[in-house]
Amino acid sequence: MKSRILIIALSVALLGIPLYAQHGHGGGGGGGGTGHSMNSNSNSHNNSGKDSKGSSVSDHLEDNTKLASKLQSLLPPGTNLQQAAQGFKNLGQFVAAVHVSHNLGIPFDQLKAKMIGPPKESLGDAIHALKPTANAKEEAKKGEKQAKHDMDDSKTS
């Protein structure tokens, strides 16, 4: 009788572990492998669109005209860059989204809506939802690499 109760208790306990892990609690990084470094920072609960120094993405773009000009050329004509940047939690996330939109022909406003939510989605998940035939993981990496290059290049000039 005791062994039967022990087996039932152990089964219930073990069944709860995968359920807990599927919700992304804990340090396992739930998200199906599509989370990206540009989308994560230590201030992930900050919904104000400001980085740890209190600067918004728009502020960064105002200060960096070279980067702003590059991004403007990747967006549809007439797009207000400051409005396009609103809602992104950091500059890297915004720049990567602009590149992915341009690379894949995904309308920027649709990609932005998926990424800033609600509910918020990673760049990879947003790509997958909007262009299921694309290799979302590779395209997200490509966009992030392009974003890093643009941001580094704009600092040196």
pLDDT at 51: 56
What is the DSSP secondary-structure string of 40-66? --TTTT--SSB-TTS-BHHHHHHH-HH
Three-class DSSP category at 56: strand
pLDDT at 142: 98
Domain ranges of the chain: 55-157
pLDDT at 8: 52
For the chain (length 157 residues), average pLDDT per consecutive 10?
51 42 38 39 42 74 95 96 96 98 98 97 98 98 98 85
